[in-house]
């Protein structure tokens, strides 16, 4: 699951990002409303955490504009302005939920999960590739009847490959998605993590699911 944070206070971003990454979510952030608007329009996210008071474009305006453009990504608004009027304004603009600051991480996580659950009830949470099963709601992974434990990065990498089943993904694309924009392209971190994944997913099984495509990158498929 991929989450976008639109917030101008770096301290709050760090606090949320660290917590969500520990819970196996992939997190991107931007620091103003305009950047948030472009990212929300042009990239696919499962949830947007949106501050109201933002430079360049406020959260109400941003919500209204992306809804007008047909973006249905759930939005959880975060704001210090805890008045009924603002709550109504946010929900009317097209936000799905509202969380007043200061909030505890546990509450943010509970609401995040609830929104993601709501958004995925019509769709299945399970991605299946041969006998590999990935539950994108609970983040449980199993091959056959064997449950597989993973670190948060390993899971994020596996989910990204699985969501793009049978598609070749370049190392750069994988790195940007799983490690974010501050990623140093000189490292071989993708190869290292693919090795970890192979150990957990493919080792001991006749059928290998993770494939190296020479000169291009990696893919997962049957």
Phi, psi dihedral angles at 215 (to 5 degrees): 75, -5
Of 53 and 109, CB closest to Ca ion: 53
Question: Is omega for the bond preceding 102 within 30 degrees of 0, making it cis?
Answer: yes
CB of 60 to Ca ion, least distance (A): 13
**Of 110, 74, 105, 68, nearest to 91 (Cα)?**
74
At a CB cut-off of 8 Å and minimum separation 6, what does 43 contact? Answer: 4, 28
**Smallest gap, in angstroms, from Cβ of residue 58 to Ca ion?**
9
Task: Please identify, using beta-carbon distances, which residue of 13 and 141 lies nearer to Ca ion.
Answer: 13
Q: Where do contacts with Ca ion occur on this chain (CB under 5 A)? A: 8, 51, 53
Nearer to Ca ion, 87 or 113 (CB): 87
> Judging by DSSP bridges, how do beta strands 75-79 and 140-143 pair with one another?
unpaired
Q: State the residue number with the nearest CB to Ca ion.
A: 53
Q: For residue 217, which of 167, 177, 183 has the smallest C-alpha distance?
A: 167
Q: How far is the CB of 70 from Ca ion (least distance, A)?
A: 26
Cα three-residue angle 119-125-128, rounded to 5 degrees: 150
By beta-carbon proximity to Ca ion, the closer residue of 16 and 157 is 16
Residue 109 Cβ vs Ca ion, minimum distance, rounded to whole Å: 21
Considering the complex, state which of residue 5 and residue 158 has its C-beta at the smaller distance from Ca ion. 5
Q: How far is the CB of 13 from Ca ion (least distance, A)?
A: 11
> Residue written as tokens 């603009």?
93
């Amino acid at each position: 699951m991929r989450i976008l944070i639109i917030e101008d206070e770096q301290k709050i971003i760090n606090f949320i990002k660290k917590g969500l990454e520990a819970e196996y979510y992939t997190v991107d952030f931007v620091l103003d409303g305009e950047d948030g608007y472009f990212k929300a329009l042009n990239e696919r996210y499962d949830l947007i955490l949106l501050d109201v008071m933002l430079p360049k474009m406020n959260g109400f305006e941003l919500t209204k504009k992306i809804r007008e453009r047909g973006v249905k990504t759930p939005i959880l608004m975060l704001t210090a302005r805890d008045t009924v009027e603002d709550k109504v304004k946010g929900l009317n603009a097209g936000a799905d939920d509202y969380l007043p600051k200061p909030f505890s991480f546990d509450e943010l996580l509970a609401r995040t999960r609830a929104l993601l659950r709501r958004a995925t009830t019509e769709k299945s949470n399970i991605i299946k590739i041969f006998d590999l099963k990935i539950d994108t709601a609970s983040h449980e992974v199993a091959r056959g009847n064997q449950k597989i434990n993973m670190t948060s990065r390993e899971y994020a990498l596996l989910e990204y490959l699985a969501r793009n089943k049978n598609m070749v993904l370049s190392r750069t694309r994988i790195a940007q998605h799983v490690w974010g924009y501050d990623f140093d392209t000189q490292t071989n971190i993708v190869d290292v993590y693919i090795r970890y994944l192979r150990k957990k997913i493919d080792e001991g099984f006749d059928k290998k699911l993770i494939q190296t495509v020479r000169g291009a990158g990696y893919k997962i498929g049957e």
